[in-house]
Amino acid sequence: MRTHLTVSLVFILASCSARAQMPSMVPDPASPSPQVSVTVPTGKQAIDSILDELTVEQMVGQLVFPWLLGDYASFDQPVFDRTSDLVEKSEVGGILISIGSPLDVASKLNELQRRSRLPLLVAADLEWGSAMRLVGGTAFPYPMALGATDRELDAYQMARVTALEARAVGIHMTFSPVADLNNNSANPIINTRSFGEDAESVSRLISAYISGAEENGLYTTAKHFPGHGDTGTDSHIDVPVASACWDRLDTLELAPFRAAIEAGVTAVMTAHIALPCFHPDDEQLPATLSETFMTDVLRDSLGFEGLVVTDALIMGAIVNRYGTEEAVIRAFLAGSDLLLMPTNIPEAIEAMVNAVESGRIGRERLRESTRRVLELKFDAGLFESRTVSLDRLPSAVGTQDFIAIADDIAARAITLVEEGPIREFRADTGSWALITYAEETNLNVGNVLLGELRTADNTVSSFRLYPSSGPMSYDSARTIMSRNDRILFASSVRPIAWRGHIALPDSLARTIEIVSKVKPTVLASLGSPYLLNQLAEFEGGFLLAWSATPASEKAVAAAVTGAIPISGRSPIRLSDEYPRGHGIQISGQ
């Protein structure tokens, strides 16, 4: 039977942290008071008072985060009711918010905050800026682009802007930066989400990112521990296996995590990957469920004292083998504090409660993790004010000043791998065939690029290809290419969860090779930098833009028309011919 929590504690202003003063946490004057008023606690003694009034079930609830889409929904729709039930009845500790407009996200979160007994901690994946989840937020190029500029200030600025926009809508924590070293070209899920493959360079950028975010009120999460980069399987589908043993792990994969901890990262997220060298008796044991990694290495060896967060527990690498109940228990016993997105949240909470009551989970261990969550909420100022002002969002999210920062980084990140005819393209205007490729769900890819090419006084004909495109579509694309003097392929091959591969369709790869032999051709990658591995007979220019965000597409157009210099250098090894650091430099005109 759940007891009702009533907490009334004296607030001492001097005890508030700087984060509690963030302007994005200004309360909405139109907002009604939460159901249960919880005044700001004042340090360890006050947190103890809260903990003393929580039941085991309520403590467990504070460790569980469900997923919520940020799109518009009236507050009486079933989908919102289900989340509201988790907040009011299961008393979950926070929300993982997904895609929606800033206004829709903020209004949903405000309402849930009002309904929650204790304030909710809100998190989101914001790896390449708030636009990853906020429609209209600032979209930076993917992190590997920052590896191509190799400037710590760029990482700091990306994180600073992301922090200001996130806090404005009521998001307190980002599940970024990605601290994985992408040292496996076959990795289908990390790729350009990583800053690169060099431990020293990635560590510097990780540290700068954490400083930029945390100094502006956004908590950070280094992921995926102990390193997901050198794997060839998507953990959303099955358990990836990494061959690293301690000597390799200690000197390479763990370096960015050490840097993150030293920089003051708030949380570390687990990886659902297996490292058989450490568990020869269970070679498929995910690190998420391994006490060796989550406690012995992360806590004891690396000295991390913050929150340990599981990667999503609905992912195939976990749920297919262990099921909902055993997964949450084993993840917690291994060392995690936050249990992210269990398949069935009420069942997961019940399983944890039963494990405590049976003695499998110690009550002090549960109290310790709950304390970490409550202390973070206190540090974020959520006991003082848990809602945000909707009126200020249009002046706080997606501003021109923020977009200009993203555009500047994207322009300096453009990396020329193979020159081909690009100097000819930059010398004068011409007749272009723009052939774009992206998955069917990403209909906007190429639109900004097309518009920018046309504003540069070029004649441009365009055609879209998709994974499902058949012979008739390719015939149409070839017809357009035959009518124009120069060809620009723009390909968005990117890491997508549950897909399991990251490559061009064979039919497109062959078309690019053939066309490059008969017409001046440039291939711009708006995603994976490894496309030349499929293009042994390609004879054109190869340009890396690292992502298909508007900033990156504008940068491609400026690079091929000569409007900007080309100065990026690859932060990864593309092949023996193109080692890390390769990049043909072209000055501006």
Residue 292 is given by DSSP the state: I
Q: CA-to-CA distance for 239 and 241, rounded, in angstroms?
A: 6
Q: Supply 158's token pair.
A: 């990306």
Of 180, 234, 311, 407, the active-site residue reads 311
| Residue labelled with tokens 């929606």 | 100
224 annotated active-site: no
β-strand pairing of 541-544 with 415-418 = antiparallel
Is residue 140 within 8 A of residue 406, CB to CB? The reply is yes
Torsion angle of C-alpha atoms 391, 23, 396, 312, degrees rounded to 10: -100
Q: CA-to-CA distance for 58 and 186, rounded, in angstroms?
A: 43
Q: Supply 554's token pair.
A: 């504008």
Within 13 Å and on the Cβ side, how many CA atoms surround 116? 27
Is residue 523 within 8 A of residue 472, CB to CB? The reply is no
Q: CA-to-CA distance for 537 and 206, rounded, in angstroms?
A: 37
236 annotated active-site: yes
Q: CA-to-CA distance for 150 and 170, rounded, in angstroms?
A: 31
Within 13 Å and on the Cβ side, how many CA atoms surround 91? 19
**Residue 365: in which H helix or E strand, if any?**
helix 363-379
At position 413, the amino acid (one-letter code) is A
530 closest CA partner among 487, 494, 567, 559 = 494
Residue 558 dihedral angles phi and psi, to the nearest 5°: -65, -35
332 closest CA partner among 84, 122, 59, 119 = 59
Is residue 511 within 8 A of residue 478, CB to CB? The reply is yes
541 closest CA partner among 562, 520, 527 = 520
For residue 172, whether the previous peptide bond is cis, meaning omega lies within 30 degrees of 0, is no
Q: CA-to-CA distance for 435 and 481, rounded, in angstroms?
A: 8
Residue 298 is given by DSSP the state: I
Q: Give the neighbor-by-neighbor strand order of the sheet with 541-544.
A: 415-418, 541-544, 521-525, 486-491, 431-437, 459-465
- Rounded to 5°, the CA angle 81-87-93 comes to 150
The alpha-carbon radius of gyration of the chain (Å, integer) is 25
* DSSP assignment string, 400-431: HHHHHHHHHHHHHH-EEEE-TTHHHHHHS--E
Question: Which residues are identified as catalytic?
Answer: 236, 311
